[in-house]
Amino acid sequence: MNGEMKVGFFVLAGSVLFGAALFLLGDYSFRSYYTISAEFSDVAGLPDKSTVKLSGVEVGKIKGIYLRKNRVVVELAILQGVKIYHGARFVVGSTSVIGSKFLQIDQGDPTLGLISPGDTVKGSDQLSLDKAVARALASLESLVGDIRGQGKFARNLAEILDNLRETTANLNEIVSAGQPHAEKTLERLDSITAKLDEMLTKTDAIVDRVNRGEGVAGALVSDQKLKEEVTSTISNLKDASASVKQALNRMGGFRTYLKWDYKYEPLANSSKNNFGLKIYPREDRYYYVGGANMVNTKDTARGVDYEVLNTVDAQLGWEKDAFDFYAGVIRGSGGSGLRWRPFYNSKWDKLSVLVEASEFTRNRTIKGRKFDEPRYDAGVDLKVNNYLSAGVRLNDMAETKRLNYTTRLIFEDKDIAYLFGFATLGSLKK
């Protein structure tokens, strides 16, 4: 191969590589697309050339973003054959709290017809993450100030507490009515236990003398069968005394807490409430029962909400140092969760991390979107004081990735705990 052929070969190879680089960097493709435009007031940092997803599936890319008067126009290149119906919702999505952004399309109504190439649609505006976090922090600061002061929330909270006090007062009346009988019963149980202890001490001495054959008692019970019956009777008395003591300890060991969670989801533009009762029969074990995602279903929806509304929670939990594990019914479906306090037993012990898994066999369509992955949630809570905490949640990470802001109120109710102890006493009578 002479020198000219070598030069020609390298020029040809360089031209091919240069053309391939231009093809790749120029974002050329052999696939066919059609163009539609979406108008927003703010695209929250959506980058050019990012992807477009329809119900979570990638169906195109963004050709360009520019300003038209006071609106932001986003040109979308959609794959040929992908049908988008009128009534579809165009929003700026994110792969995670700090992940890359993309344009999310929630499918519309087929009865309204197809969006044609070249059409311009109206996008759904939402807060960017930095603005949302800033607003959340401002709201949290306002909430804390409101609680400390005499704002609307403080008045509403005071009304709730007044209602709870009235309810617990009624419960207290019921307890007070039964308390004298319970106290008399407890006094009698204490007296019986003391007499049993005294009697057992004496009978132990008697049995010892009987077994040695001493005195008149030894002579009377020289029969071996009679000795065994006396010993068995005393053993039964010991067991009865131990059972009474254990039941009395269980009666006073109950702790109960009322818990209220408030959640706000920006994408759905809706709020929900969880309310329930947490019962500790012993120090490191608890039961929780309550309602989840409680809303008024007659309210008009202001956004696409994929949550199952007005369901139940019923869980059994175990606490061990910095860890809290629970399992059971979560939002009407089987699941489990783990809460971890990374700064446990220190002065910074105000932060907790939550992971939760549920709906392991999910296979259904909600609001026109197919769901076939288990639900995974994660979040962080910051404890303000013994009664109030606030945090953020990333819900359904395998599917919709919806961000929620949460506020929690929890306080102990000793009257309900007394009722459980009283119910335990009632079961002993049976």
Residue 315 host element (H or E): strand 311-320
DSSP 3-state assignment of 310?
Answer: coil
Residue 24 has pLDDT above 90, yes or no: no
Measured CA to CA, the distance from residue 272 to residue 402 in angstroms comes to 14
- Answer with the one of 75, 103, 126 that is the final residue of a domain: 126
Query: Considering the domain boundaries, does residue 100 fall inside one?
Result: yes
pTM for this predicted structure? 0.49
Percentages of the chain per state (helix, strand, coil), in multiples of 5: 35, 35, 30
Residue 71 has pLDDT above 80, yes or no: yes
Measured CA to CA, the distance from residue 358 to residue 4 in angstroms comes to 70
Mean pLDDT of 167-190: 64
Pair (153, 121) in one structural domain: no
Query: Considering the domain boundaries, does residue 373 fall inside one?
Result: yes
| pLDDT value at residue 124 | 83
| pLDDT value at residue 295 | 86
Query: Considering the domain boundaries, does residue 266 fall inside one?
Result: yes
Band of residue 349 on the pLDDT scale cut at 50, 70, 90: confident
DSSP conformational letter for 115: P
| pLDDT value at residue 378 | 94
| pLDDT value at residue 400 | 86
Pair (357, 298) in one structural domain: yes
Largest CA distance in the chain: 133
Mean pLDDT of 119-125: 87
Query: Considering the domain boundaries, does residue 4 fall inside one?
Result: no
- Answer with the one of 199, 231, 251 that is the final residue of a domain: 251
Pair (409, 264) in one structural domain: yes
Pair (258, 361) in one structural domain: yes
269-295 pLDDT, tens digit each: 888 899 899 988 878 899 999 999 888
| Cβ neighbours of 326 (radius 10 Å) | 20
| pLDDT value at residue 210 | 58
- Answer with the one of 126, 145, 170 that is the final residue of a domain: 126
Query: Considering the domain boundaries, does residue 3 fall inside one?
Result: no
Query: Considering the domain boundaries, does residue 97 fall inside one?
Result: yes
Pair (264, 403) in one structural domain: yes
Pair (90, 152) in one structural domain: no
Pair (291, 425) in one structural domain: yes
Q: State the alpha helices, DSSP H only, in 222-341.
A: 224-251
Query: Considering the domain boundaries, does residue 147 fall inside one?
Result: yes
Band of residue 430 on the pLDDT scale cut at 50, 70, 90: very low
Pair (156, 105) in one structural domain: no
- Who's near 143: CB < 8 A, 6+ residues apart? 153, 390, 407
Q: Which of 7-21, 277-291, 339-353 has the lowest mean pLDDT?
A: 7-21
195-249 pLDDT, tens digit each: 666 766 766 666 666 566 555 555 555 555 555 665 666 666 566 655 555 555 5
- Please tell me the total count of domains within the chain: 3
Residue that is written with structure tokens 């309900």 in the block: 416
Strand 369-371, strand 285-294: pairing: unpaired
| pLDDT value at residue 344 | 87
Q: Which two tokens stand for residue 323?
A: 């860890």
Q: Which is more confident, 121 or 236?
A: 121
| pLDDT value at residue 405 | 92
Residue 338 has pLDDT above 90, yes or no: yes
Residue 372 has pLDDT above 60, yes or no: yes
**Residues 358 and 370: beta-carbon distance below 8 Å:** no
Percent of the chain with pLDDT over 70: 63
CATH number for 291: 2.40.160
Measured CA to CA, the distance from residue 52 to residue 77 in angstroms comes to 8
| pLDDT value at residue 201 | 73
Measured CA to CA, the distance from residue 254 to residue 287 in angstroms comes to 11
Query: Considering the domain boundaries, does residue 64 fall inside one?
Result: yes
Query: Mean pLDDT in the chain?
Result: 78
Mean pLDDT of 250-279: 84
Pair (95, 180) in one structural domain: no
Mean pLDDT of 120-136: 74
Residue 29 has pLDDT above 60, yes or no: no
Q: Which of 57-71, 359-373, 410-424 has the lowest mean pLDDT?
A: 410-424
| pLDDT value at residue 311 | 92
Q: Which of 28-42, 57-71, 159-173, 180-194 has the lowest mean pLDDT?
A: 180-194
Residue that is written with structure tokens 């700026």 in the block: 92
Band of residue 393 on the pLDDT scale cut at 50, 70, 90: very high
Pair (100, 134) in one structural domain: no
Residue 59 host element (H or E): strand 57-68
Pair (51, 108) in one structural domain: yes
Pair (161, 247) in one structural domain: yes
Q: Which of 70-74, 117-121, 375-379 has the highest mean pLDDT?
A: 375-379
Residue 420 has pLDDT above 70, yes or no: no
**Residues 260 and 389: beta-carbon distance below 8 Å:** no
159 lies in which domain range? 128-251
